């Protein structure tokens, strides 16, 4: 079985893109013609995937947007659509699950069997007992929350100063030497991003916070890229999904995805020269 890591690396290389396009379907922000349809969530996601697939190394649907609308079947169909129409472009399901024992096993079944995601985001707060059940699913990838992009993340993740939680997570993940284990590290904290890179040189990072949250792509690559200028997947959701909420939303999303893909390339090349 081909691993998630191999599929992701091939997609990044084949498209020369570090862009991850998030899928956050909000019906109230969709174009009127989509809102009026029978399946607005699926139709929006399908058309967003079509509009950006040429530039996206992967897609990242956020499960909450589907669950809030009772649209879990739309999530199943969206992931299936990516797999069928764009084979080789993996899907990361952003779920941030974190529990132990049989509950964790059921969450893993939900993400990897019911929804057929290629990878998922998970919380390490309960320790390895909350992570190991997902590793039982062959070929799947895991993105462990390390240092998140939200403004208030530091009160816990950067405490205590002498051995902050985010570094303990980074070092523990790196020590496993398991390529299936990757990390979520936010773009809005570039200094911490650099610390995590030094702690985990060979680990792949999923980097949210570019776009609507204000993270800067140059800082992401200067601080977070590995020695080869890679090891990063940079996510953007709202800035692409809702580049327009009018009937030109597909064209606007295409332009936003292409422009960000190009900015990521420039930032990578600049970081390689600078470092």
Q: Are 181 and 146 in contact (CB under 8 A)?
A: no
Is residue 96 annotated as a catalytic residue, yes or no? yes
Which residues are CB-neighbours of 179 under 8 A, at least 6 positions away? 3, 5
Cα separation values, 149 from 167, 186, 208, Å: 15, 4, 6
Segment (H or E) for 126: none
Nearest to 253 by CA among 211, 209, 207, 221: 211
- Which of the residues 15, 60, 96, 274 is marked catalytic? 96
The CA-CA-CA angle for residues 180, 232, 259, to 5°, reads 135
Residues 54, 48: Cα–Cα separation, whole Å: 11
Segment (H or E) for 201: none
Residues making up the chain, counted from first to last:
275
Residue 121: both structure tokens together: 């985001």
Residues 139, 120: Cα–Cα separation, whole Å: 12
Residue 59: both structure tokens together: 């897609």
Nearest to 114 by CA among 67, 160, 177, 69: 67
Q: Hey, which residues are catalytic here? A: 96
């Amino acid at each position: 079985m081909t691993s998630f890591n191999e599929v992701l690396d091939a997609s990044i290389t084949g498209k020369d893109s570090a862009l991850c396009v998030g899928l956050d379907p909000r019906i109230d922000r969709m174009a009127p013609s989509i809102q009026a349809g029978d399946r607005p969530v699926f139709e929006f996601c399908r058309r967003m995937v079509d509009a950006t697939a040429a530039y996206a190394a992967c897609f990242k649907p956020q499960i909450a947007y589907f669950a809030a609308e009772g649209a879990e079947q739309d999530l199943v169909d969206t992931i299936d659509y990516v797999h069928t129409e764009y084979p080789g472009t993996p899907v990361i399901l952003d779920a941030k699950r974190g529990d132990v024992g049989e509950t964790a096993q059921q969450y893993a079944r939900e993400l990897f069997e019911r929804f057929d995601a290629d990878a998922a985001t998970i919380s390490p707060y309960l320790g390895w007992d909350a992570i190991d059940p997902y590793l039982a699913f062959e070929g799947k990838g895991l993105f462990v929350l390390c240092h998140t992009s939200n403004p208030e993340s530091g009160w816990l993740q950067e405490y205590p100063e002498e051995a902050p939680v985010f570094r303990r997570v980074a070092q523990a993940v790196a020590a496993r030497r398991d390529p299936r284990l990757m990390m979520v590290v936010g773009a809005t904290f570039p200094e911490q991003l650099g610390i995590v890179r030094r702690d985990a040189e060979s680990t792949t990072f999923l980097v949210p916070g570019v776009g609507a949250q204000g993270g800067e792509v140059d800082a992401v690559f200067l601080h977070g890229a590995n020695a080869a200028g890679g090891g990063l997947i940079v996510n953007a959701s709202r800035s692409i999904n809702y580049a327009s909420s009018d009937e030109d939303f597909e064209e606007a999303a295409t332009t936003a995805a292409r422009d960000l893909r190009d900015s990521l390339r420039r930032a990578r090349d600049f970081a390689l020269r600078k470092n």
